[in-house]
Structure 1
């Protein structure tokens, strides 16, 4: 590989040339970020000042395009952000009409951005709404939790929520689609005792739906658990077209996790294990899978032995 041999004067000229390139690039960059640019971003919409006596449906997407004007370095940092903040839209004007002109709210929208960024337009400029009769409905609360338990501890009973139901208010066609309302996720580590906490309901992402109350009390019963092994007889389903069906084996061994409190309550009669002959009739399986059709809610199934059984059929 040839080696470039330069004398002292040549190395000096090369160094000066490289410095000129670097200085030129820095000057160009400084000039570029000092210029003013107009760019477009997508943003979500949050509705505020919603009329109390009117239930509404937005007739367009909850995402709008915002045209912003800012200098280049602001644009650079803005592009590095992971998400664009949603803009708030004032709906107080819906008291006497069914549309909102965003061009009339540019002052209100600009106050939601830094002073060195200016919103010059929002598309679509006009948002339309459909109004319907407002209704109420009570739905159950579903608590969400993600717990890490100490060794040999787990949830041992049903969770208790107070109140069990919340009232949702909004347009009939939206309210009837809501079957339950979830809470924020309860998180804890090294859990070895009952949890009693107050938790917020999940944030309402529909501006035309109101929820009351916004917080509930949740109790999670936690206790020590252990394994218990039970032998449960197998039952045969959909066998009326056969004179007899013999299963080998006729019982299965279940390993379950159960709390020490309920250890003596859990017996073989607490479970039901079945096989379905339709698996053989319709799919021609060689072995029938075991299905657990009844089990106490406070038990957790660990293992079934065997998971599939042989069978003999007499037609």
Structure 2
């Protein structure tokens, strides 16, 4: 392949030409990002100043399109943002009517954006709401956690949460569907001691539901655990259609992880192992799987030996 050879003068001219191209591009880019542009961004809606006496259902999505006027460089940064902007909407007007008009709140919304950005309009311009009777209910708190334990350590007892219940208020048809309220996930690494922390409740995904209080105290008991092997008698369930059933073997060996604190308390009487005779009668399987139907909380089952057992039946 021929190689283009340039003398010193030609190389200098080529260098000057390349610099002119680069400078022209930079000048154009500077001019472009200095101009004003109108662009649209998606925003989530957060309702504020909700009337205490009225429970409401939004009749549209909680996402709106906001038309903004801003400089080109702001448009570039907005495009690169991974998070969605959230705008607050004042619902105090719902005391007198069932709709909110964004055009009447542009001043309030503009104050939520930088001074060099201006909100021109929001689509849809009108939000409609349906109203129902306000009610309240107490539901239990469910603490979520994702802990990385030191070797041979784990949760050894039930979590203690204070308060155990929180009060939720909102429309009756929504409140009755909520069975519990979760906390933000508690995270920690190399855990080998009890954890005492303040956990905030998950942010409300429904604007028409309020929760109180917004945080709880959570105690997670952590201790050293060890392995324990137990022999548990095996029982047959659903054997009414047979005169007798003999299982081979009649016991199974369970390997469990248990805390050192409760090592002597955990006995074979705390476990129940069964086989379901319907598995053979209905599915004609040759050996029955062992099912653990009862075991102490925070005992972790490691292994069952054997996992399947043979049997003899007499009709």
Q: What interval of TM-score do these two structures reach, taking the shorter chain for normalisation?
A: over 0.9
Given that residues 54 and 133 in structure 2 are in contact (C-alpha distance below 8 angstroms), is that contact kept between their aligned partners in structure 1? yes
How far apart, CA to CA, are the structure 2 residues paired with 1:66 and 1:311? Answer: 70
96-105 or 206-215, which moves further after superposition?
Answer: 206-215
Aligned to 2:11: 11
Q: How far apart in 1 are the matches of 2:86 and 2:155? A: 39
Is 1:194 equivalent to 2:197 in the alignment?
Answer: no
SS in 1 for 2:184: strand
What is residue 39 of structure 2 aligned with on the other side?
39
Q: 1:265 is paired with a residue of what secondary structure?
A: coil
Cα drift, residue 31 of structure 1: 2.3
Distance 2:183 2:98 in 1: 33
The farther-off stretch of 242-251 and 178-187 is 242-251
Higher mean C-alpha deviation, range 215-224 or range 266-275: 215-224
Task: State the Cα distance separating 1:147 from its structure 2 match.
Answer: 2.0
Higher mean C-alpha displacement, 277-286 vs 250-259:
277-286
Aligned to 2:304: 304
Which residue of structure 1 lines up, in the alignment, with residue 124 of structure 2?
124
1:89 alignment partner in structure 2 = 89
Rounded to whole Å, the distance in 2 between the matches of 1:228 and 1:9 is 87
What stretches of structure 1 of length at least 5 have no aligned partner? none
In 1, Cα distance between the equivalents of 2:136 and 2:110? 36
- Matched residue SS, 1:107: helix
Structure 2: distance between partners of 1:158 and 1:79: 47
Are residue 246 (structure 1) and residue 246 (structure 2) matched?
yes
Structure 1 residue matching 2:240: 3-state secondary structure: coil
Give the Cα separation in 2 of the matches to 1:264 and 1:85. 56
The answer for the alignment partner of 2:213 in structure 1 is 213
Give the equivalent residue in structure 2 for 1:148. 148
Kindly provide the CA deviation profile for residues 71-104 of structure 1, in whole angstroms up to 9, marking residues without a partner as x.
2111011111111220000011111111000111
Moved more, 250-259 or 118-127: 250-259
Distance in 2 between residues matched to 1:186 and 1:152, nearest whole Å: 20
Task: Tell me how far apart the structure 2 counterparts of residues 231 and 175 of structure 1 sit (CA, whole Å).
Answer: 47
> What is the deviation of 1:113?
0.7
Return the offset for 1:191. 2.5
Cα deviations by residue, 1:212-254 (Å, 9 ceiling, x for unpaired)? 2222222222222211100112111223333443333222111
Instruction: State how far apart, in whole Å, the 2-side matches of 1:124 and 1:281 are.
Output: 62
Partner of 1:232: 232
| Other structure's SS at 2:143 match | strand
How far apart are residue 314 of structure 1 and its match? 4.2
1:169-212 deviations in Å (ceiling 9; x for gaps): 11101100110011222223333232223322222232221212
1:167: which partner in 2?
Answer: 167
* Aligned residues of 2:47 and 2:88 also touching (Cα < 8 A): yes
| Partner residue in 2 for 1:48 | 48
* Cα root mean square deviation, aligned: 1.7
SS at 1:112's partner residue?
A: coil
Deviating more after overlay: 285-294 vs 135-144: 285-294
CA distance in 2, matches of 1:37, 1:282: 71
- 1:10 counterpart SS class: helix
In 1, are the aligned partners of 2:51 and 2:94 still within 8 Å (CA)?
yes
User: What is the distance in 2 between the residues matched to 1:154 and 1:8?
Assistant: 75
CA offsets 1:266-315 (integer angstroms, 9 cap, x no match) = 11111111111222333333332211000011311111122222334444
C-alpha separation between the residues in 2 aligned to 1:220 and 1:9? 78
